[in-house]
Amino acid sequence: MKRKITFKNAYLHFKTITNHKIKVTFLCFKMGLFKQGILHDLSKYSWVEFSNGARYYQGYRSPIDAEKEELGYSLGWLHHKGRNKHHWEYWLDKNKTGIFPIEVPLNYVQEMICDRIAACMIYKGSAYTQNTPYEYFMNGTDRLYMHPNTAKKIEEMLIIVKEYPLNEAFNRIKGMKYA
């Protein structure tokens, strides 16, 4: 039986994604990514993403995780990652030999850093530290599936975020290039 969307969860989910979007937009602006900041995550307001987010809303983690646990997949996530270039999964392709990762362009890696920082701030609240985005990345398995240069660049950027005040970290990240 499909979960019902309650008004309360719809409101709380709307508030969460809007707070997240505002934080990412602010961080993208600091990074010099003005257009990306404005356009970031607009697909979260589409019906497929919003309704599933409200249906699986919990407040302390992404509703995508709850949807995947219950159904084994997430329609909201499938829609989201296919429309947002700041997700490494957007940059997967396939040919006759199988599925393979493509190196994510640097400006989308930078947006990804802003996204990860904002998501950690939202879901961790007062428990957030400068280490949180790095720990989340290193404790997950995403880096095992993305292009090695992309994974290396994300790790380098998150180490900078961990070691420097945010303004200085972003100034350093803005000047980075792929090796």
Q: How far is Cα 131 from Cα 126, in angstroms, rounded to an integer?
A: 13
Residue ranges covered by each domain of the chain: 7-174
Q: What is the pLDDT of residues 78-105, one digit of tens each?
A: 999 999 999 999 999 999 999 999 999 9
Residue 63: left if φ>0, alpha if ψ -120 to 50, beta else—which one?
alpha
What value does the mean pLDDT of the chain take?
A: 95
99 three-class SS: strand
User: What per-residue confidence (pLDDT) applies to 140?
Assistant: 93
Q: What is the pLDDT of residues 170-179, one digit of tens each?
A: 999 998 887 7
Q: What is the pLDDT of residues 101-125, one digit of tens each?
A: 999 999 999 999 999 999 999 989 9
Extract the tokens encoding 164.
Answer: 């420097």
User: What per-residue confidence (pLDDT) applies to 176?
Assistant: 87
